[in-house]
Every structure is written in C-alpha cells, then in structure tokens.
Structure 1
C-alpha cells in the first residue's frame, strides 16, 4: 500500500531521476492507493485480510537521511491508521525504516512496534549498494531479535546492476526477473556466514518470493557449502573466514521463513514448502503487481496451494495459522470480520 500522505509526498519528489520510472510504474497500479478498488478486488476471495507494507522503492532512495526518516514516520503512521480504520480488511502492517541512519532506524522501529502495533519491519537487500552484513547494522538486528518481531526482506536491484562487467545496464529486465532472486539469496548467505543467526537465533527473517534461489539449489547450499574454502586460493582465504558457526550452513538456511509469492509457479512453491517446512511458510501473493493489477497473483497462489499435496492442517497453517503464531497476531475479530 501507499498511505495517502505518504503517496502525496512520494509523487511530489521531482529531483531524483532514479525515482521517475518507479513513480510512473506506481501510478499505473491504482490499487496501491485506491482503497475502494482494493477492497472490491479482495471481495473475490471471501474471508481474506492482508498484512500491508509500503511499496518499493527503499526509503534510502528518496533523499537525505533526515528526509528518509521523516518519510518512514509518515509511512508508518499512515499504515497504522489504515489498519485501525479497516480491521476487517487489514490484519496489521510491517513498518518502514531507512537504514542509512541506523540510530534513526532503531528509533523508528521501536516507535512502530510499541506505539503503532507494527508486526515487523521491512528492509531491503542492500542500502545504497552496501551489504546488509556490515557491522554498523548489528544493533538494528539485535533490537529486532529482542523484540520478537519479523524482518521482511525485499529485493531492490535496478537496471544499473549490469549483467556483465563490460556493460553499463542490465538488459531485458534481467535485473528484476533473475537479479532480485539472486539478491535475496545473497542476503540470506551473508546473514548465515556473518553469524547473524548464530548470534541471534531468535531472528525471524521472512524472505520474499518463496525463499528465492535457496530451496532450488539445496544441494549446492548443503554439500557444496560443507566444503567452504576448498575452491578459494590461499591469497583470498580471508574471503571465506566468516563468523564461527556451530552447525552446517544448510541448517541456518532452514531457519529462515519464506512467503508463497511465486507468481503462480506451483512447482517452485512446492519446492519452497518442502525445503523450509510448512510451518515456516506464510501466505503472500505480491499483489497488486500482477498483470490484472490486483487479484491475479492472489488467485493463482490460492490455486497453487489447493493443488499442492498438503494436509488440511498444513494448508491452514500457511493461509493464516503461521502468521498468527509467528507474528503474535490474534486473527479472531468481531463477528463478520474477515480472517
């Protein structure tokens, strides 16, 4: 979603060439801002509520650290108001933060958790091209781990990340179709080898798009990374010397949570559920970024889950039970409310 005041500010930014294309893209998806349209689309699915967050781009792309912190506050208060005003439609929200200033991000996340009731926080795969395992971010991860909230991870590569070193831009939207899944997978790997899950095993990273590449390359993640360092020359050994781990790398990758937003790809979703386990998968659809600009991916994801060989208990857990348990969310509302 784009809450009203946040949307107005977002579309008013006119000094960022990098944002122009995203502004145009966002204007072409009315359900991001039009509540009546979104509600009419949701009605197709009966007892259905959403957990919402602010749409891309990352806040770090909007301006100065001070501006981005201000936009985070506008976004979070707007999301909280949407949830309060429409509890039969929105079950909660994940807060926005800008990690270009870690102290401000911690302050904003704590405010969103304690004052606004946010269920978690959304971050991206890099901050202005900087990796997400840099030590300056440790206090943020420690705070969220202590809070018990989730960290929803969204990719953010652009066409500026070329496909080959000899080129200046990525072609054919490869940066999106394939690059985003690579970025999510790199985020997971750096979180594992930097020891984030070793130091804070209670961290709940929710990885978009079914856990990206990791479930589909479980052999390389498993037996392949059991041989970490075997392929590295002696003069590059520092590149494979991460935080001391007490388990196989594969076991840490299975500690992540994932969502079901695989764009209607049933076999991919089946693999994700098998890798992480049905108890670590949460329903999500990537709505409204489908060709219908709203209901298409919701419908396709529901159909996938109905077609996959799951028990009734597993299917119910993915639809809502896991969200209730992992997010500490009471999904029971007054009579007539949507689940």
Structure 2
C-alpha cells in the first residue's frame, strides 16, 4: 500500500464557489492554471489515473491559492468550511481512494483557524491541516499564530506546509515583478526554507516540540545546504554587526539550530529528481520522510509525478523495510492509525 501524503484537489462545491468570487490578479492566474488540470475537479479522470498504481490512496488538501488570497476574513472562513465538508464527504464516499484529508484553515484569522481546525478534526475526521509560508506577506512566526501551533501540537496530527509566492515578488529590489517564473522554481523553495528558519529561531518548536510539520518538496533547500544550516548557523551572529544585534536575537534555544530542522518531516515530492530525494532522505532519515507526489501538477496532469516518485524510491538503494516506512508506515505511525488498512 502506498499512501500519497500531499495531493491537491478542488472538490466541486469548493471549485464552484472559487470561480464565483471576485478575484485578485494572482487568483486570476491560478484560475487559469487549475482550469487546465481536470483531475483537480473531475473524479473520473482522477480515479482512472490512480488505477495505474494498484494499492494506492491519497491524503488530499485544497489546491492553491490560499483562502487568505481573497482578501476578506469572511470569505476565507466560508471557503474553509466549504472545503473541509466537501473533502470529508470525498473521504467518506471513496475510502478506497482517499485515506484522509488535511483541513483548510483561514490563517488570516488565527482564532477562526483554531475553530475550523477543531471542527474539521472533531466532526469531519481531518488528519491535520495545511498552511502556507506566509499570510498576505506576514511571517508565520508572528506571535498571533502561536495558539494555532499549540492547538495542532496538542492534537498530535500533521501540519502540512506549502509555499506561497507569485510573480509580484521580484527577483531584485530594483524590479517590479519576477521573470521567467523564477518566483516558482526557486522562490517557492526559498519561501519554505525561510519559513522553517523563522519557526526554528522564533522558538515555535522549542515551545511546542510535539508539533509535526510536514515540509513540502523534500524539506526544500535545507538538506542540500546542511553545512550552512549546521556549522554555519552554529555561528549565528558572527556575520552581523552589533548595531543590528536584534536581527539575530531570537527565542532561547536549548539545542543546535540544525536539530530543530531535523524535528520536521519531509515529503518525497521532488518531481522525479532521484539524487535530490536521496539527499533529503539522508538528511531527515527514513523515519521522517513521507511518500508524496504533489499530484496532479505534473506535465501529464496527474500521473507523472506519482510514477516517477515511486520509481525513484525503488532505485536509490533503500531496503524493503525503509521503502515500506516511507510509502505508508511513517504516516500511519505519525497519525496513530494504520492507513494501509481500508
């Protein structure tokens, strides 16, 4: 059994409401993107793709854009509820296809996010939640988000972290927009890595060590720059003048910075790059890596990344026990339920 722990979807009730809302320019661009991927909405297309992989099920979450992109707390709360009830219905109706769902939460209103998370977990059976790397440009280590992290940590469930950046974030300060989709290829990975660092140095994991953060795209840049994250950040402050001391003064930590990064979990959504997957597993360990494909955003619009990720996991030198842990064992252990059993 393979449990795909990070897959995107737009259930029909959510999709219809998404299309009806007055959009921002970034939402317009994302509408164009999702409208070209039938498997996000059409279950017949999705299920036909999934049939290729035998004993294979998905944990689903809502595809970008974040509900906070629509500019109104009222709308973000409304969309979150529609999304969660629709995903819960998909899991109930198709248990052979969907092993669970991650709740959509309105992080522009942290109190409402806690309420929606609690509702989704208690009444709908969510296995966790998905958040993004910022809320309208606000860093996710802001104090107002700490009660939300505390609530998720107490639940023992998984908090998926997805990058969030658009072409409005320029490549250089003298420019107005990012070019060549650099904002996506490299910008999203910087977003994830910056999120992780701010979570570490602000003390979120020091205060809430039970928080289970699943970092998309193989843990992003961190495994590949472990020397900078490790010995480099052991020298935090050595590159900063005294006049900027507040820039490197964070929450008192009791471990090396790199140890907090290794408390997080990574998925295997590396788009067929076997060498990158091997690096990620070497950094986090086979017990902190979850199989995930990022379906259906591959060039085939559904099957390609699933297939290539499975092939990678079979080709990079893992033994059978390690493969089983990544494919289904780790996610079952983290959630305290055997997801390999229908």
Structure 1 and Structure 2 fold alike (TM over 0.5) = yes
2:320 to 312, 316, 335: 312
* Aligned partner (choices 267, 272, 283) of residue 264 of structure 1: 272
Q: Which residue of 2 aligns with 1:280?
A: 288
The reply to whether residue 204 of structure 1 matches residue 212 of structure 2 is yes
Q: Which runs of 5+ in 1 are unaligned?
A: 335-339
Residue 303 of structure 2 corresponds to which residue in structure 1?
A: 295
Report what 2:40 is aligned to.
32
Which residue of structure 2 aligns with residue 154 of structure 1?
162
Indicate the structure with greater strand content: 2
Counterpart residue number, 2:174? 166
Please give the secondary structure, in 2, of the residue aligned with 1:53.
Answer: strand
Aligned to 2:61: 53
The correspondence for 2:250, drawn from 242, 246, 250, is 242
Match of 1:337 in 2: none
**2:23–2:70 contact (8 Å) kept in structure 1:** no
What is aligned with 2:149? 141
Q: Would you say how many aligned residue pairs link Structure 1 and Structure 2?
A: 334
The farther-off stretch of 318-327 and 208-217 is 318-327
Give the direction of change, closer, same or farther, for the CA distance of 1:69–1:307 in structure 2 (3 Å limit).
Answer: same
Residue aligning to 2:240: 232
Q: In 1, Cα distance between the equivalents of 2:56 and 2:134?
A: 32
C-alpha displacement of 1:15 = 4.0
Tell me the secondary structure at the aligned position of residue 51 of structure 1.
Answer: strand
Q: Secondary structure at the match of 1:115?
A: helix
Q: Give the equivalent residue in structure 2 for 1:120.
A: 128
Q: Secondary structure at the match of 2:138?
A: coil
- What displacement does 1:322 show? 0.5
1:280-301 deviation digits (Å, cap 9, x = unpaired) = 1000011110000000000000
- How well do the aligned residues superpose, as a CA RMSD in angstroms? 0.8
Once the two structures are TM-superposed, the CA of residue 329 in structure 1 deviates from its matched residue by: 2.8
CA contact (8 A) 2:272 2:312 kept: yes
Aligned position for 2:14: 6
- The residue matched to 2:100 in structure 1 has which SS? strand
Assess if the C-alpha contact under 8 Å between 2:105 and 2:130 holds in 1.
yes
Higher-RCO chain (CA-CA 8 Å, sequence separation at least 6): 2
Q: Which residue of 1 aligns with 2:199?
A: 191
Match of 1:80 among 72, 77, 88: 88
Q: Find 2:332's aligned residue among 318, 324, 330.
A: 324
1:156-212: CA deviations, max 9, x gaps?
A: 111011000000000000000000001000000000000011111100000000000
Give the TM-score, by structure 2 length: 0.96
1:253 corresponds to 2:284:
no
- Could you state the TM-score of these two structures normalised by the residue count of structure 1? 0.97
The residue aligned with 2:51 is: 43
Task: Provide Cα deviations, 1:61-108, integer angstroms capped at 9, x if missing partner.
Answer: 023101110100000000000000000000000000111111111000
CA–CA distance in structure 1, aligned partners of residues 339 and 113 of structure 2: 28
Does structure 1 retain, via aligned residues, the 8 Å contact 2:113–2:148?
yes
Q: CA deviation at 1:133?
A: 0.3
